[in-house]
């Protein structure tokens, strides 16, 4: 079964309320649809260091629930978050990869621990303020993109199970962000103009390097060009990601042309950061290998023969045409029809069939399969 605003009248729905405008309007729409709504606010990070907004968010959640006359529960998942999300985040950075903790937070906490807690509260379904939609396709729960293409969050939900998707409601999935703010304003909700949260939740507005250094020892090392020339010192490989331009601290080099420098590789064994200038071929690839695959429902037919789909290798990227093929045990080879720039190990490749999000996998390695690359292809990839 897939729940929606059309079939939840009389059902008890436990809404994850963050204190922001999206979940506040989700509460409005659930109540208008006739659901018996109760809100549950999660505390997943509790450092009192001036950067975390958890206390402020809880107060905003209380104001919204009071204005809408909705019961509010509060639960602390900080232990589970540190064990299942933050520990993985640190281990990935230590391994030289670039993790995305929001994906794991959705799978383990918001649609894992939260969902189990909602059952204890007697909930028939759960709801969140995500920009996504659900449907029943081929008699199975399916995850669809949100209507607002600028806010669509299906990328971050690709690791959630089909069972959890079937028990979830995304009330604002058919709305544009501007419509959400208009509804909040019409209802006199104080959060109608609250700024959207950005970045990694537990880092907030604090300097990233400062935060990470509290947990992982920085290991400075050499910065070399692709030709092997020593041009500087890096602060620690964990602070850099493929395609990064800013923060290299090398300035202009006398013998080099006036083109920007980019991170093109990280050599863990020698603790060396590799950089190159301009439209470097070292940043381009058209094939990747991914593991830890999650399909929302049965895997798409035709994987063994090479199935044509679309995929994203980062949030907000336009859908890219590709073919995927099973390789070994729970590994996928993804071949793109066009060049991809700065494919970062540790990030996720997420698969789509039109608006339907089929699932995704963790990127392990990428390479350039094409034997020749034209200048126009290189420029196009560099701009993407």
- Examine the domain organization and report whether 132 and 98 are in the same domain: yes
Q: Which of 69-73, 125-129, 179-183, 227-231 has the lowest mean pLDDT?
A: 227-231
154 within some domain: yes
pLDDT reading at 383 higher than 60: no
Among 252, 278, 304, the domain-final residue is 278
Q: Which of 45-59, 296-310, 355-369 has the lowest mean pLDDT?
A: 45-59
202 within some domain: no
As for how many domains the chain has, the answer is 3
Among 227, 260, 278, the domain-final residue is 278
- Among 52, 65, 201, 357, which one carries the catalytic annotation? 201
Going by pLDDT thresholds of 50, 70 and 90, the confidence category of residue 197 is confident
Among 243, 278, 313, the domain-final residue is 278
4 within some domain: no
Q: Is position 65 annotated as part of the catalytic site?
A: no
- Examine the domain organization and report whether 274 and 287 are in the same domain: no
282 vs 47, more confident: 282
pLDDT reading at 131 higher than 60: yes
Going by pLDDT thresholds of 50, 70 and 90, the confidence category of residue 312 is very high
- Examine the domain organization and report whether 133 and 27 are in the same domain: yes
- Examine the domain organization and report whether 322 and 182 are in the same domain: no
377 within some domain: yes
Q: What is the reported pLDDT for 252?
A: 66
209 within some domain: no
- Examine the domain organization and report whether 257 and 151 are in the same domain: no
> Residues with Cβ < 8 Å from 214, sequence gap 6 or more?
none
- Examine the domain organization and report whether 76 and 160 are in the same domain: yes
pLDDT reading at 39 higher than 60: yes
pLDDT per residue as tens digits for the range 135-192 = 999 889 999 999 999 999 999 999 999 999 999 999 999 999 999 999 999 999 999 9
- Examine the domain organization and report whether 240 and 344 are in the same domain: no
pLDDT per residue as tens digits for the range 242-272 = 999 988 988 767 677 778 899 999 999 999 9
* Rounded average pLDDT over 45-70: 83
252 within some domain: yes
Q: What is the reported pLDDT for 315?
A: 94
Going by pLDDT thresholds of 50, 70 and 90, the confidence category of residue 367 is very high
* Rounded average pLDDT over 102-107: 95
CB atoms within 10 A of CB 80: 17
- Examine the domain organization and report whether 257 and 296 are in the same domain: no
* Rounded average pLDDT over 208-229: 91
CATH code, domain with 358: 2.40.30.10
Rounded CA separation 238/217 (Å): 10
Q: Which domain holds residue 367?
A: 282-383
- Examine the domain organization and report whether 266 and 294 are in the same domain: no
> 0.85 cut: is pTM over it?
yes
205 within some domain: no
Going by pLDDT thresholds of 50, 70 and 90, the confidence category of residue 211 is confident
- Among 65, 105, 322, 357, which one carries the catalytic annotation? 105
Distances (CA, A) of 19 to 16, 78, 185, 240: 9, 17, 15, 32
- Examine the domain organization and report whether 55 and 143 are in the same domain: yes
Burial 111-144 (b: 16+ CB within 10 A, else e): bbbbbebbeeeebbbbbbbbbbbbeeeeeebbbb
6 within some domain: no
Rounded CA separation 62/137 (Å): 37
CATH code, domain with 249: 2.30.30.280
- Examine the domain organization and report whether 246 and 183 are in the same domain: no
Phi then psi dihedrals of residue 132, to 5 deg: -160, 170
Going by pLDDT thresholds of 50, 70 and 90, the confidence category of residue 381 is low
Phi then psi dihedrals of residue 364, to 5 deg: -100, -45
- Examine the domain organization and report whether 306 and 379 are in the same domain: yes
Q: Is position 357 annotated as part of the catalytic site?
A: no
Tell me the CB-side half-sphere exposure of residue 46, using CA atoms within 13 A: 11
pLDDT reading at 203 higher than 70: no
């Amino acid at each position: 079964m897939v729940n929606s605003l059309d079939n939840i009248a009389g059902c008890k729905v436990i809404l994850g309320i963050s204190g922001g405008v999206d979940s506040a309007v989700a509460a409005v729409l659930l109540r208008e649809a006739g659901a018996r709504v109760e809100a549950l606010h999660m505390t997943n990070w509790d450092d009192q260091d001036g950067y975390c907004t958890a206390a402020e968010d809880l107060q905003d959640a209380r104001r919204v629930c009071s204005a809408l006359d909705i019961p509010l529960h509060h639960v602390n998942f900080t232990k589970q978050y540190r064990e299942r999300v933050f520990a993985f985040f640190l281990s990935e950075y230590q391994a030289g990869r670039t993790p995305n903790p929001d994906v794991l937070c959705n799978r383990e906490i918001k649609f894992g621990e939260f969902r189990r807690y909602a059952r204890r509260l007697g909930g028939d379904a759960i709801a969140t303020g995500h920009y996504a939609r659900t449907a029943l396709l081929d008699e199975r729960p399916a995850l669809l993109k949100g209507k607002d293409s600028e806010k669509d969050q299906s990328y971050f939900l690709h690791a959630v199970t089909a069972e959890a998707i079937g028990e979830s409601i995304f009330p604002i999935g058919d709305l544009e962000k501007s419509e959400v703010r208009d509804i909040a304003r019409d209802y006199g909700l104080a959060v109608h103009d609250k700024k959207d949260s950005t970045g990694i939740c537990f880092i907030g507005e604090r300097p990233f390097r400062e935060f990470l250094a509290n947990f992982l020892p920085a290991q400075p090392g050499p910065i070399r060009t692709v030709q092997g020339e020593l041009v500087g010192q890096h602060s620690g490989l964990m602070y850099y990601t493929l395609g990064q331009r800013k923060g290299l601290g090398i300035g202009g080099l006398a013998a080099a042309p006036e083109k920007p420098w980019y991170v093109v590789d990280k050599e863990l064994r020698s603790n060396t950061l590799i950089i190159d200038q301009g439209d470097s071929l070292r940043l381009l690839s058209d094939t990747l290998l991914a593991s830890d695959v999650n399909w929302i429902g049965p895997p798409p037919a035709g994987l063994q023969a090479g199935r044509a789909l679309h995929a994203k290798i980062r949030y907000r990227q336009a859908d890219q045409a590709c073919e995927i093929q099973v390789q070994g045990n729970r590994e996928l080879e993804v071949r793109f029809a066009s060049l991809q720039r700065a494919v970062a190990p540790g990030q996720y490749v997420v698969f789509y069939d039109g608006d339907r999000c089929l699932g995704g996998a963790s990127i392990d390695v990428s390479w350039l399969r094409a034997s020749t690359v034209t200048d126009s292809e290189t420029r196009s990839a560099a701009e993407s």
